[in-house]
């Protein structure tokens, strides 16, 4: 009974932030034609206002993000073409990351380095997990299996750390970059929109935290495999 309750509590803790983010995004995706500009048009306008003419604005099927390698703001189709509060707010958030990149904002720079490091770490982790039983069997060394598997899981867990340390960068992109941009743009309805835009920007900032919590389940599953 107690283990069942703990499991339910864990699932709620892991999935509640993600469900909240999805709910907020869905709520403010309507009405779709509320503003005179689409998310893509606003992103282009904001980027040009900062002199970032070389940064592209592109539609994507892999989620809203800013790609620093390609120097591109990428928006999901609904945010790229949509004229909802969600569309223009998320577009401003991603432009906020482009501005961070252009200005050399240190937490953004550190995050990019951590992302590369975590990516390599996860690749090494997967390799170690596959090699552990093979080498352990060939060498007949159970202790070696445990050490390699533990090293692999810890390497894979680096992605969780990266997601968690991203939060200050996301908060800056939302509230020190995107919100002032939106307020200066003149597109928000000053009497009603700001509180809702803040809620959306909070959801945008929490996206990576939700991903980190969800990845804990995979991490926990691998840890359970180490148990005798």
Tell me how far apart the alpha carbons of residues 43 and 207 are, in angstroms, rounded to a whole number: 20
State the catalytic residue, choosing from 58, 70, 77, 94: 94
Question: Left if phi > 0, otherwise alpha if psi is -120 to 50, otherwise beta: which for 140?
Answer: left
41 catalytically annotated: no
Q: How many CB atoms lie within 10 A of CB 75?
A: 26
With residues binned 3-state (H G I as helix, E B as strand, rest as coil), the percentages for the chain, rounded to 5, are: 75, 5, 20
DSSP H or E run through 66:
strand 65-67
Tell me how far apart the alpha carbons of residues 73 and 125 are, in angstroms, rounded to a whole number: 31
Question: Left if phi > 0, otherwise alpha if psi is -120 to 50, otherwise beta: which for 37?
Answer: beta
Q: Tokens for 45?
A: 């306008």
- Catalytic residue list: 94
């Amino acid at each position: 009974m107690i283990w069942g309750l703990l499991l339910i509590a864990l699932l709620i803790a892991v999935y509640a932030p993600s469900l909240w983010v999805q709910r907020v995004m869905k709520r403010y995706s309507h009405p779709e034609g509320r503003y005179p500009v689409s998310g893509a048009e606003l992103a282009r306008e904001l980027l040009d206002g900062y002199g970032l003419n070389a940064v592209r604005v592109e539609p994507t099927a892999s989620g809203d993000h800013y790609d620093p390698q390609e120097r591109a703001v990428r928006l999901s189709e609904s945010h790229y073409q949509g004229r909802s509060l969600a569309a223009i707010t998320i577009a401003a958030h991603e432009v906020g990351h482009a501005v961070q990149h252009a200005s050399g904002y240190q937490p953004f720079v550190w995050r990019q380095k951590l992302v590369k490091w975590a990516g390599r770490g996860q690749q090494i982790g997967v390799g170690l997990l596959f090699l552990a039983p093979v080498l352990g069997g060939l060498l007949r060394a159970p202790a070696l299996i445990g050490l390699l598997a533990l090293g692999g899981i810890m390497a894979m867990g680096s992605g969780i750390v990266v997601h968690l340390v991203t939060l200050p960068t996301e908060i800056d992109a939302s509230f020190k970059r995107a919100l002032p941009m939106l307020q200066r743009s003149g597109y928000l309805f000053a009497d009603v929109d700001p509180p809702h835009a803040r809620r959306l920007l909070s959801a945008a900032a929490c996206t990576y935290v939700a991903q980190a919590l969800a990845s804990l389940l995979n991490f926990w599953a691998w840890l359970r495999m180490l148990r005798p």
